Amino acid sequence: MTKIYNFCAGPAMLPEAVMQQAQSEFCNWQGSGVSVMEVSHRSPEYVAMAKQAELDLRELMAIPDNYKVLFCHGGGRGQFAAVPFNLLGDKLDADYILTGQWSKSAVVEAKKHARIHETNIMRTTEDGKIGVKSSDDWNVNAGSAYVHYCPNETIEGIEIFDVPETGVVPLVADMSSTILSRPIDVSKFGVIYAGAQKNIGPSGLSIVIVRDDLIGHARQTIPSIFDYQVQTDFDSMYNTPPTYSWYLAGLVFKWLLAQGGIAAVEKNNIAKAELLYNAIDSSSFYSNNVDASVRSRMNIPFTLADDSLNETFLSESKAAGLVTLKGHKLVGGMRASIYNAMPIEGVQALVDFMAVFEKKYA
């Protein structure tokens, strides 16, 4: 059988070694004779595994002691609602920075709770590409409870690498599609959250990293499962957590540590992204319309010179073992999502295929 490389934006591929380990202990976890899915989340074995996953994540991201790590339900969109509930306190205002579809979706949810000040920082560069204005143009309102942004727009393939300065206003980041792909300085953020299904593990889980002083000010009407204080008090087990997703996330964290941690993972991610962007830029058949300074390393959209070849590209790439390359309907063309779990061999296989396809049809 042809080796399959899965470029899905999410749920995304998981590391092969992690899948194999999960398979080997699927029916018999830690010699218990039952699956990790079938044990109580209150059992000492499960609690120890869950705690270790948190410690491993803390090590990977160098999370300071004055931050809590919460393992929640509800994915990325759950946090679109949880953030305003938890952080507004008695304030009415929040700032949202717009860079693409996901930051816009976060606003739609937040508007139910707060007066939102939107700052669109997208711009068109001189050569007609999508760029992003410098964070000096953010105009954060001093009276806002927080400022929210999305450092990696999964759909457009736009990534902001610098962390903006927002003064005393806490910075909240939706890192769903960039978390663990490169080192970040957690201390610059008030809240970091991420749905798991891109770079952490299976869907159903979201990870929230929140600074202590931002916990405990939630509005009274907040559903308890979204309340950072409740989740903190119950070690993320107020209700039954997504136990299998938590377990698999723990295996992924161990795998990342074994790779040499996030600095080593970033090197690999840079090499993978360069390989693909170079292939696109050196061809007149493929193009990517994002300015080089903000090109995502995780999600790489590209178009063919002739859109009528899209279906042929998709069917021939699939036959070659390269699956889920169809671009998001809002952007069109193709999108290759190359999260941590994608080996460089997968990107090389894609680049090789693209060259053959271009020769054949250009």
Ligand X SMILES: *Cc1c(COP(=O)(O)O)cnc(C)c1O
Catalytic residue among 29, 68, 95, 198: 198
Q: φ and ψ at 7, to 5 degrees?
A: -100, 20
Dmax over Cα atoms in the chain, in whole Å?
63
CA 68 from chain center: how many Å? 19
- Annotated binding residue 42: yes
Interface with ligand X includes 176 (CB under 6 A)? Answer: yes
Among 116, 150, 172, 279, binds ligand X (CB under 6 A): 150
Report the candidate in 153, 151, 217 with the shortest Cα–Cα distance to residue 188. 151
Catalytic site includes residue 102: yes
Nearer to ligand X, 296 or 357 (CB): 296
> Does 125 belong to an annotated binding site?
no
Residue 95 labelled as part of a binding site: no
Beta-bridge partner residues of 273:
none
The annotation status of 255 as a binding-site residue, yes or no, is no
List the alpha helices (DSSP H) in 151-261.
228-233, 243-258
Match 């760029």 to its residue by tokens: 131
Residue 102 binding ligand X, by CB under 6 A = yes
Question: Which residues pair with residue 300 across a beta bridge?
Answer: 336
What's at 229, amino acid-wise? Q
* H or E element at residue 131: strand 130-132
- 76 belongs to an annotated ligand binding site: yes
3-state secondary structure of 191: strand
* Tokens, residue 131: 């760029």
Question: Of 49-57, 75-83, 208-216, 353-361, which part binds ligand X (CB under 6 A)?
Answer: 75-83
Nearer to ligand X, 158 or 320 (CB): 158
Between 195 and 224, how does the x/- string for binding to ligand X read (CB under 6 A)?
x--x----x---------------------
Q: How far is CA 104 from CA 67, 86, 119, 315, in A?
A: 27, 20, 11, 32
Our CB check for ligand X shows the closer of 147 and 320 to be: 147
- Told to check if 76 binds ligand X by CB under 6 A, we report yes
Query: Closest separation between CB of residue 106 and ligand X, Å?
Result: 7
Please pick, among 29, 56, 68, 102, the residue that the annotation labels catalytic: 102
154 annotated ligand-binding residue = yes
**Non-local CB neighbours of 139 within 8 Å, separated by 6+ positions:** 119
Which CB atom, from 80 or from 313, has the smaller least distance to ligand X? 80
Q: Is 29 a catalytic residue?
A: no
Stretch that binds ligand X, among 33-41, 89-97, 112-120, 171-179 (CB under 6 A): 171-179
Tokens describing residue 343: 């080996």
Which residue in the shown chain puts its C-beta closest to ligand X? 75
Question: Is 221 annotated in some ligand binding site?
Answer: no
Kindly tell me which residue out of 22, 50, 61, 75 binds ligand X, with binding defined by CB under 6 A. Answer: 75
Task: Please report whether residue 324 would count as binding ligand X according to CB under 6 A.
Answer: no
Among 86, 144, 177, 243, binds ligand X (CB under 6 A): 177
Annotation marks residue 188 as catalytic: no
53-77 b/e (C-beta count within 10 Å ≥ 16 → b): bbebbbebbebeeebbbbbbbbbbb
Distance CA 304, CA 146 (A): 40
Determine if 154 is a binding residue for ligand X (CB under 6 A).
yes
Rounded Cα–Cα distance for residues 268 and 274 (Å): 10
Chain-centre distance for alpha carbon 240 = 24
The alpha-carbon radius of gyration of the chain (Å, integer) is 21
- In whole angstroms, the minimum distance from the beta carbon of 285 to ligand X comes to 28
Please identify which of the residues 56, 95, 174, 227 carries the catalytic annotation: 174
C-alpha to C-alpha distance for 318 and 133, rounded to whole angstroms: 37
Closer by beta carbon to ligand X, 171 or else 349? 171
Q: Which residues bind ligand X (CB under 6 A)?
A: 10, 75-77, 102, 150, 154, 174, 176-177, 195, 198, 203
Q: Which residues are catalytic?
A: 102, 174, 198
User: Which residues are part of a known binding site for L-glutamate?
Assistant: 42
